[in-house]
């Protein structure tokens, strides 16, 4: 298990300037954390008109102390770039993912992927709905991980008992329409599991990532 950090930049006039001022230090930190396996994935989140809006960081750390250590070291957190930060226990689904971009890979100038953040319902039947279609969902996404359509995915967990309460997926879709079409046939959508879904454009920075869980 690890943690997902969903962080949002400020919306004031100085937001972009603060991000750019801290960016090199941010890249140094996440490069170090990726190299030693504590950062499974780190990507920016963009608005539909391709303005920086925040970040998604997936940490592979054993406990909350690891999460706190990252936030203490992260220039975007301590430098006031991130104005709103959500943290959630998170477990990456072990699937046959393709390798993430390594150092030396060119950085795309435009959107290449979509971050899907999906929250389950909060009603009494939410957990039962998820469990009823979970196997079908996993059977659907496994070949998509192997094909590269799903770059990484996993479950948001509650703090108390590790119950699955949502999902995060990063997919190789360059616009919201393609991502929504992909989601439309997923058992978590057709089975009424995901009730609150947000989409955010992104692209990858090439970092010395370790293989994801389930990768060959």
Find the CATH number of the domain harbouring 94. Answer: 3.30.70.1060
Closest CA to 164 of 149, 152, 154, 178: 154
Q: Is the pLDDT of residue 213 over 70?
A: yes
Q: Does any domain span residue 64?
A: yes
CB 88 within 8 A of CB 3: yes
**Domain-located, residue 215:** no
Ramachandran region of residue 18, left (φ > 0), alpha (ψ -120 to 50) or beta? alpha
Confidence category of residue 22, pLDDT binned at 50, 70, 90: very high
The total number of structural domains that make up the chain: 1
- Residue 207 forms part of a structural domain: no
Would strands 150-157 and 52-59 be described as parallel, antiparallel, or unpaired?
A: unpaired
Work out the number of other CB atoms within 10 angstroms of the CB of residue 97: 23
- What lies within 8 Å, CB to CB, of 146 at 6+ separation is 95, 96, 97, 98
CA distance 207 to 216: 19
Query: Does residue 7 belong to any structural domain of this protein?
Result: yes
143-197 residue pLDDT tens: 999 999 999 999 999 986 689 999 999 999 999 999 999 999 999 999 999 999 9
The reported pTM is 0.96
Tell whether 216 is covered by a domain: no
**Which residue range forms the structural domain that includes residue 141?**
2-202
- Per the domain annotation, does 151 fall within a domain? yes
Whether residue 172 is contained in a domain is answered as yes
Q: What is the mean pLDDT of residues 32-40?
A: 97
Mean pLDDT of 84-102: 96
**55 domain-assigned:** yes
């Amino acid at each position: 298990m690890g943690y997902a950090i969903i962080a949002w930049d400020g919306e004031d006039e100085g937001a972009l300037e603060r991000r750019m001022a801290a960016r090199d230090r941010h890249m140094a930190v996440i490069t170090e954390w990726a190299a030693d396996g504590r950062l499974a994935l780190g990507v920016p989140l963009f608005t539909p008109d391709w303005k920086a809006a925040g970040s998604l960081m997936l940490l592979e750390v054993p406990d909350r102390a690891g999460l706190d250590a990252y936030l203490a070291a992260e220039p975007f957190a301590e430098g006031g770039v991130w104005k709103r930060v959500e943290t959630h226990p998170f477990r990456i689904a072990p699937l046959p993912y393709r390798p993430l971009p390594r150092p030396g890979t060119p950085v795309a100038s435009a959107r290449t992927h979509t971050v899907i953040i999906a929250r389950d319902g909060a009603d009494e039947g939410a957990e039962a709905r998820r469990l009823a279609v979970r196997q079908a969902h996993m059977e659907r996404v496994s070949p998509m991980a192997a094909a590269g359509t799903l770059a990484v995915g996993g479950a948001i967990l509650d703090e108390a008992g590790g119950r699955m309460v949502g999902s995060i997926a990063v997919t190789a879709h360059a616009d919201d329409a393609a991502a929504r079409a992909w989601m439309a046939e997923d058992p978590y959508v057709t089975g009424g599991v995901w009730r609150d879904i947000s989409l955010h454009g992104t692209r990858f920075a090439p970092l010395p990532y370790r293989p994801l869980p389930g990768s060959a």
